[in-house]
Every structure is written in structure tokens, then in C-alpha cells.
Structure 1
């Protein structure tokens, strides 16, 4: 690992791609990141429970974590690190503390998805030998790229004459919206003047950069269990309380929840299971659902209606429902001040052909927890997109990236951090006038 990361971006990304791990199981991934971070040399490195309060985690799996730990151990992960990550406390925060200057955060996510990666010859990871080595799990959203960016940016800033504090959040469990909250509540989010979050692709081609997203949907993951009573389906169906029937009613009525006039709202039942045999009245049914809204308030509206719908359907069929909000994330928009700065930086970056100051996100992201925290404390945040040509959509078995975007992301992020350093404090702009001749708003206590 003596070779600079900047000279092995492709190799590093492919190595990470081969070892995908889902939310709160990123044991090998975290150990690999720590190995690289230690080689870079940072002023502070916190892993797992040292990086956040484990009690603040959301969507922690009930499944046994042992096989994932053992797989990481077999692949050479540091045993001491694995012990520290016991219980699924994965992820890390790396800090460069280089004297007087701004405090800048960079957030990258590290988890993968439960998707079986394609073996098709036209799928480059399969053809070139870096397809996922873990059956049923895949980096199908570009988080392998994000981690590579995080490490390369950390190295570049460490080797520069940067003055200030850089905090890089290697955040677990983004796909389940479980890791953003604990990172945002941690001490490492204290006093951030600026926060950069970043994603690859999202239907933006190679050579295009979006300086900041707008209108990410607030969202929540909801699990529901309906308890009924079993009975013989032929002899005495009336003696049962049909949890499956209640579930069917709940699903149909959930999709009938009125959409709100104040903005976009969404609801979806993504998983449903019930019953044991054709001749048995189902005594238990289970559903996994989500609700989204254009604002946090609209998401809360949909969440409340969804919970009420499930419980009412259960009652209708003499059953009982338990509804649990597993995880959620708020809406937080990028600040125009940082959108303008990123636009300026990206416009001068090598290989960048088009810069969009802003774009509607249309999906959800738990980086909004960190964004909201920084903005609430008086700082500025933006979530930028570095485009890449991806042959198929995110979250599909054939997702891949154009590796030219690796250099693009590093260039834009490093130069943005250096510009924030030189221009600090970046004046706040009145949001009401951000689209016109922006008026400077005086700020205090952030220098």
C-alpha cells in the first residue's frame, strides 16, 4: 500500500467491489478502510462504537452477524478491529487536524445491497474478474466508488498544506437509512462549518456534475406484524382470525391513502409474507413498507396514515397489529452558497463538460441527517453528484460505472475543500433571494 491511492483508484475500487457487505455487516469493508487510513496517517481515527453511540443506530438487523464476521476474518481483517465492531458497529471517522482554518466534513457511504451480481459476459466486473465474491450481495449503487473517493481525498489533503480540520465520515447502513443518524449525533459532527456529501451517477453521464441536490424525499421504513389465530380452513374457518386476509386489506388500503395537496407523497409495501399451508387459517402476517414525502412533515403524514391503516385492517379482521418504524430520514436541501462554489470548481475541472447548479433528487438519502445537523448549527451543506455512464440503473444486477469518473470525483472534491479553506467564511445567502441578486446574511460564531 505504499503506492499513492491517486495512482491506484481503479484497483482500489475493484477490490472494494469484490467484497460487498450490507448494512451493519461491513466488517471487512471497515477493516480495509482502516488499513488504508492508517497508511495515509491521520490525527484521529474512530472505528465503530468510538465513532458514534451504538444506541443511535437504526435498522440494525436481527439476523446472526457471526458468518459475516468470520468471512471478514478469513479474508484477513484485523482481529482487533473485528472485536471492536462486535454487534455490528461498523464504519469509521477519520480526522485531519491541521491548525487554524475551517472545519469541513465529507460523508461517503460504505454498504452494499442484497442483489446477486450478474455473470453475463457483457458485464465488465464479471468479464474483468472483479465481480462480487459474496453470493447475493453487490455494490449496485456505487458505494465502492464513494469509498475510493473518500480515501483519495483524505490522502490528497493530508499531503497538502491544508490549514483547518477535515472530518471524513465513512458511514455504514445508508441503504437502510440506519447510519446517518448516529453519525450526525456524534461528536465528530460538532462544529462543522461545511459538509460535502457525494454520489456517483444517478442518471447523470460521465463528465457531468450536479453541484447540489434539491428536494430529496423524507422517508421512513416501517415493519408491521399482524397477529391472528389459526384454525382449520375447511372444518372451522370461523374459529380463526385470518392474519393474511387482514394483511391483504391493509395493502389495498395503504395504496388508497390520499396523496397530499401540499406536495409529493409516496407509499409502498415492498415485502409481504403470511401463512403455513393451504388448509390453515394464517395466524401471522408480516410486511415491510415505506412512506415518503416531499417534506419531513408530509412524510410524517404518510407514516401516520400507513400505521393507522394497518392497525385498522387488523382490527377489522379480529386481529392485532404491531407497527415499528425501523428507520427514517428527513429532507434537507443543499445550500445555494455551496452549490455556487462547487459549480465554479467543477467548471474548471479536467474532464468535466457540463455543470448543473442544482437538480431535484427525487429519492431519499440519510446523509440528510448530517446536512440538517450542520445547517441547524449554522453551517452550510451540499450533496453533489459526479456523473458516470452506468449501463443499467442503480440497484440492478448489471449496474457498473465508467471508471473515468473516479478521477473526476477526486478532483472536484479536493478542489472544493481547498476553495472552502481559502474563502472561509463563505457568506450565507438569504434563501428567498438565492435565485436572484443574493443578499449576504451576517453570520456569527462559525469562524
Structure 2
């Protein structure tokens, strides 16, 4: 497309200072940053003071293909990612076939590369079907490009399987990512076990299902030296466990989803399946704990757990509806609105949670700062004007989010991947 010039964009330089500058892109790289770029360009876009950042990174997305293309495809999911300002995502293995073998993994990776608008790194499964006791051939899968290993959607139920998995992941220097959930404590639950579940007459998931399995895993992680990453942390007890484990030298990182930062079970005012997710929305005390954990560095990063479902799968009662909400198109916007605009955090902290920390934890290639010579992966956000989220605006096939109707700042205006426009408002 030739040279792309973005004029009058604000970007973070240091100490949370935003500076207005022009950025010139050529041949997939940033070639000039200056107060005024005079080099002629094939295309010029006036940012009018919008916020220019490196491309966002999401380590937890579900693109549903192959196997569940009626929910989402790599094409729709990656367009949704670009619309959210993300240029790099890590795709979960809850697919059919599950990428527990080289053949399945290679098929999925090829489809990601053929149809993705953003950089997609693929997880391989810890075990066949996400539930088998025998651990996958991690050496072969890592050689094929598996970014990490997880059975997301299922907790690893036996300690012996987890021990073997951690030893294998450590050997190939890949993170092992855990959806922590002891199924013996789920009890057919559909939301958090507590006051609200009793008031609504809905079966509850004991929060111990998360924290008890996490405690087990942290002990095994310390013994094996693996990089252990906790997906979608949601309880006060879990945050305390990770904080203690870090103090003991365990190589553990953790993520939290925007919905667990912004919502809790008191927001569930009726039997509305758009609020059904796993892990479920917890208590206000749990929400305060994950916010505190994010601010003090116990929790390293924000990840969406973007989980699209069909309209039919999210209708009616919590009972029978699918677990999960979409989030990749509203994540930065919600975080900017509720954390930065409100004064809880700075732009610098937000970019640390959504770019720097995920990149470092998963050893992702590419430069995560806007500097000359860096790959031109970037996003432009309108942080000055409010926007109301509507059900008809999403690029994702899934509209299963409780944030429809929310007023937000930070709508994505432009996303550039390898110097090419991947999304433009």
C-alpha cells in the first residue's frame, strides 16, 4: 500500500506524558516519528489528537474454528480483534479437532495464517480432548510452533497428569496455562455459590473449585520450575495464593478478564444468561481483590477470554445456556473508561497490562514500543468522545456480552498490522 502517514496522534513517550507527533510507516516498519513529518506518503490519516499505541496483545481468545464456525471463525474473530485494537492474539485449543496432535495443530495453524487479519499464536492442548490423562507430545508440538499448552475450559483433574504436563512444558521452555477448576466442587453450578445464587434460586459453583486446584498447581509449579500461568483469576483466595507463590519464587503469572474487574454477582439482577461465564462473576470482595491484585502487580495482565456463542446458546435461563461472553471489541475501551478516565490507573499502566506484560510473559516477537525501525503494529483510539455500545456494531459473530448499552471512551479508529490497515472505523 506504499507509505502510510498518521498525523497529529498523541502517544506515550515517558512518565505518562502524551506527546502529539506524526508517524510514517513504510514496508511494514515505522520509519519516521517527528513533530511534523514532511515526507510525501501514499495515504495520510489525520488522527486529530487520538491516542496511538503499539498493537494490543490478548493471550486468551476463542476463535472457534475448526469445529464451531457457527459461533466464530478465524476471519470474524481476527477482524473483531483488529476492531478492538489488538494486533496479536493467542488462540485457545477448545476446538474440534483439539490440537493435541501434530496433524491437528498444523491444520489449525495453517487456517490461522490463511484467514487471520492479526498475528495469531496457537495454543496446543495439554492432553487429548482436553480431558485425557496422557499428556500430549509437547516437544513435537513446540517444534511446530505451539506458543504454550493449556486445556482451557477444563481443569486438569489429577495431580499426576499436571506434574507430567509441567515437567514436559518446562523441558521445552513453554508456559503451561491453567483453567483452574476442580470438577468435584462445581456441583452443576451455573453462577457463583453465595447469597445471590440463593436469592435467584440457581445452583452455585463453589469458589473453592478455583482456589483449591490453584493451590495444588502452585506447589507442583514450584517443584518443576515451569512457567505456570493462571487464566482468568477471579477470587480473593486465588489472588492471595498467587501473591504468596510469587514471594516464594514460583515462576507464576496471572491474567484477569475485564468482566471480573468491572462486574460482580450483585450486577446479576435476574436470570439473564448474558451474565453466565466461567469462572462466574464473584462477590464484591473478590472483585476488589482482583483490582488490588492488578494494581499491585500480583496479576500481570488483562486478557479478554473472548468467548463467542450463537444467539440461541445464550437465550433464556442460566440453566442450559452456554458459559462465556465476548470481549475483544470492548476490552481496551472498558478498561480505559473505568480505570484510566476514572483515575484509578494511568495510560502507562494500561498499556503495560495489555501489551508489555503479555508480550514478555509469552516471549512474543516484535517491538512493543513505537520506535523507529519497529514493526508497524499499532492502534489508534478516540479517547475524547463517548460511545454507547450497541448489539449491531460487532465484527464478531458473537454478541453475547452484558456490556451492550455501556457508555465507553476509546473506540478504535484504526488498527495497523505489519504496516497494513487491518481495521478502519
Category of TM-score, reference length = shorter chain = under 0.3
TM (norm. structure 2) is: 0.26
Select the structure of larger CA radius of gyration.
1
